[in-house]
């Protein structure tokens, strides 16, 4: 028996679709869905956070032992003065009853300050030593108090939990590292964008408090130009695009403050306040 | 952000190198298929009466995926559907295995191979993001004619 072996069409078992087309479709499709999902989760958790009673936050944190997280909290003249500043500014910030601000002063060269759960605010000596005037320090304090008032810490904690759970489900159930990479990046972008919005909101409240206490917002202007200098000093810091920043660029914050000040009629300096009529 | 940059570089590298190697492999496959067209392979167990002697021959090949293919497969795992990036991998593997089988047959002077079977296994199981690879084995009885 004679057998023949003709050349068959060899492309039957391979898809003719270009791999890049499939890649683009999957990437865009899944990115959009995950961004939407994360935005929905973040928005609802952020909105629900305000219903968590402040007492719950306080009991969650208990007597915050800063030393337990490896930071050296010192009590003394600095801590007392910072606490006094916080109490003075709190009067202007219309805090709900039961919301108390507790200031911790840490002897560390980190140039930063933060607000966390239960009304606890931490100031690092690095920041305090670098600021030249009480008013710029007051702006930082008012900003952190604003975070507490706006319940940003509990909202962030809630979001962290829900998005973390979503990520864990996707990673463990699908076993898809590409999927969890994509979801992880989408959630990072979403969290950072929400963080920037929170910072702007805190800036607004803080500037108002500054105006009521000092009669002008010079402290805020001074603070943002100081931050701007710090940003420009570090090449790494200044090249990170806005999308990946937890705070807006300090120039943008100053810009936003100026337009807010002109809207509300807040003087930008003591001189301006002096010459202002009425 | 650094992670994003690294992954993008790996993707571009994986895609460019992977698709270029795939094209070269297919060209080589087509060339050898034309050369070895005179060796017949049959799935049938029935060996003709004119057969003189027989010997087991096999062709074996292991091919690895690239970062780009694994990434697309990972995304596809979330939504389901045809994994087209892996189709070409398996196609190449099977055709290469058959070609190596035929090559062995040529070396022992056989003109046809009967009872050809495939075995595909996945080395390293492609567990959770590790670069997976496939092994294809094709074996059969090579028969020399009297």
State what percent of residues in chain B have pLDDT above 70.
Answer: 93
pLDDT at residue B126 in the model = 52
At A64, the pLDDT band (50, 70, 90 cuts) reads low
Mean pLDDT of B99-104: 96
Per-residue DSSP letters for B67-94? HHHHHHHHHHHHH-S--HHHHHHHHHHH
H helix runs in chain A, sequence order: 19-48, 54-61, 77-92, 125-130, 134-149, 152-169, 177-214, 218-233, 235-239, 250-264, 270-275
Which of A6, A7, A19 to mutate against chain B (most B CBs within 10 Å)? Answer: A19
pLDDT per residue over A143-192, tens digit each?
999 999 999 988 888 888 888 888 888 777 777 778 888 888 888 887 88
A177 touches chain B (CB under 8 A): yes
Residue B73 with chain A: CB contacts under 8 Å:
178
A182 touches chain B (CB under 8 A): yes
Say how many Å lie between the first and final Cα of chain A, rounded.
Answer: 114
Which of A33, A179, A239 to mutate against chain B (most B CBs within 10 Å)? Answer: A179
Check whether A1 has a pLDDT greater than 70: no
pLDDT at residue B24 in the model = 96
Average of per-residue pLDDT values in chain B:
88
State what percent of residues in chain A have pLDDT above 70.
Answer: 97
pLDDT at residue A277 in the model = 64
pLDDT at residue B58 in the model = 94
Average of per-residue pLDDT values in chain A:
86
Check whether B123 has a pLDDT greater than 70: no
Look at residue A112 and give its three-state secondary structure: coil
**Would you call B84 and A5 a contact, using CB atoms and an 8 Å cutoff?**
no
Residue B93 with chain A: CB contacts under 8 Å:
none
A62 touches chain B (CB under 8 A): no
B2 touches chain A (CB under 8 A): no
pLDDT per residue over A74-120, tens digit each?
888 889 999 999 999 999 999 988 899 999 998 888 888 988 888 98
Closest chain B CA to residue A192: B1
Check whether B127 has a pLDDT greater than 80: no
At A27, the pLDDT band (50, 70, 90 cuts) reads very high
ipTM of the complex: 0.80
Residue B38 with chain A: CB contacts under 8 Å:
5
Residue B95 with chain A: CB contacts under 8 Å:
10
Tell me the C-alpha distance between B67 and A141, whole Å.
49
pLDDT at residue A71 in the model = 75
At B131, the pLDDT band (50, 70, 90 cuts) reads low
Least confident of A131-135, A242-246, B41-45: A242-246
Of B91, B127, B128, the CB nearest to A14: B91
pLDDT at residue A211 in the model = 92
B80 touches chain A (CB under 8 A): no
A3 touches chain B (CB under 8 A): yes
Shortest CA gap B96–chain A (Å): 13
A185 touches chain B (CB under 8 A): yes
Identify the burial level of A55 via C-beta atoms within 10 angstroms of its C-beta, where 0-12 means exposed, 13-18 middle and 19 or more buried: exposed
Tell me the C-alpha distance between A224 and A230, whole Å.
10
Q: Are A276 and A267 in contact (CB under 8 A)?
A: yes
Q: Which residues does residue A55 pair with via DSSP β-bridges, in sequence order?
A: none
Per-residue DSSP letters for chain B? -HHHHHHHHHHHHHHHHHHHHHHHHHHHHHHHHHHTTTSEE---S---TTEEEEEEEEEEEEEE--HHHHHHHHHHHHH-S--HHHHHHHHHHHHHHHHHHHHHHHHTT-SEEEEEEEEEEEETTTGGGSPPEEEEEEEEEEEEE-
At A23, the pLDDT band (50, 70, 90 cuts) reads very high
Of B37, B69, B84, the CB nearest to A5: B37
**Would you call B82 and A15 a contact, using CB atoms and an 8 Å cutoff?**
yes
Per-residue DSSP letters for A36-88? HHHHHHHHHHHHHGGGS-HHHHHHHH-S--GGGGT--B--SHHHHHHHHHHHH
User: Order of strands across the sheet with B51-64?
Assistant: B40-41, B112-123, B133-145, B51-64
Of A3, A177, A240, the CB nearest to B129: A177
Shortest CA gap A13–chain B (Å): 6
pLDDT at residue B27 in the model = 94
B91 touches chain A (CB under 8 A): yes
Tell me the C-alpha distance between A210 and A192, whole Å.
26
pLDDT at residue A66 in the model = 67
A225 touches chain B (CB under 8 A): no
B129 touches chain A (CB under 8 A): yes
How many residues appear in chain B? 146
């Amino acid at each position: 028996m004679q057998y023949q072996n003709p050349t068959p069409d060899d492309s039957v078992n391979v898809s003719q679709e270009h791999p890049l087309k499939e890649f683009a479709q999957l990437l865009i499709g899944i990115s959009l869905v995950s961004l939407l999902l994360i935005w929905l989760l973040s928005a609802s958790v952020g909105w629900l956070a305000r219903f968590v009673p402040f007492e719950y936050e306080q009991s969650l944190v208990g007597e915050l032992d800063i030393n337990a997280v490896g930071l050296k909290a010192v009590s003394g003249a600095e801590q007392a003065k910072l606490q006094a500043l916080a109490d003075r500014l709190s009067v202007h910030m219309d805090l709900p009853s039961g919301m108390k601000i507790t200031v911790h002063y840490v002897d560390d060269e980190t140039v930063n300050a933060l607000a966390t759960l239960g009304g606890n605010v931490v100031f690092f000596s690095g920041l305090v030593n670098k600021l030249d005037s009480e008013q710029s320090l007051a702006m930082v304090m008012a900003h952190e108090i604003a975070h507490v008032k706006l319940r940003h810490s509990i909202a962030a904690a809630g979001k962290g939990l829900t998005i973390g759970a979503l990520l864990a489900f996707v990673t463990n159930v699908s076993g898809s590292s590409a999927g969890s990479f994509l979801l992880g990046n989408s959630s990072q972008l979403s969290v950072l964008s929400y963080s920037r919005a929170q910072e702007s909101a805190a800036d607004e409240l803080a500037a108002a408090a500054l105006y009521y206490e000092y009669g002008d917002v010079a402290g805020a202007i001074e603070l943002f130009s100081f931050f701007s200098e710090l940003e420009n000093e570090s090449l790494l810091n200044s090249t990170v695009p806005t999308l990946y920043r937890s705070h807006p660029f300090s120039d943008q914050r100053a810009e936003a403050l100026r337009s807010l000040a002109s809207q509300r009629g807040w003087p930008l300096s003591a001189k301006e306040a002096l010459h202002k009529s009425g | 952000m650094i992670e994003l940059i690294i992954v993008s570089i790996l993707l571009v590298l994986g895609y460019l190198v992977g698709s270029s190697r795939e094209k070269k492999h297919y060209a080589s496959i087509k060339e050898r298929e034309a050369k070895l067209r005179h060796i017949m392979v049959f799935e049938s167990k029935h060996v003709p009466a004119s057969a003189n002697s027989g010997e087991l021959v096999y062709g074996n090949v292991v091919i690895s995926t690239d970062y780009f293919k694994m990434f697309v497969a990972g995304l596809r795992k979330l939504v389901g559907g045809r994994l087209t990036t892996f189709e070409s991998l398996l196609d190449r593997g099977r055709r290469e295995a058959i070609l190596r089988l035929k090559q062995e047959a040529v070396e022992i002077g056989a003109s046809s191979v009967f009872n050809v079977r495939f075995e595909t296994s996945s080395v390293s199981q492609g567990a959770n993001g590790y670069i997976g690879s496939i092994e294809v084995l094709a074996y059969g009885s090579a028969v020399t004619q009297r």
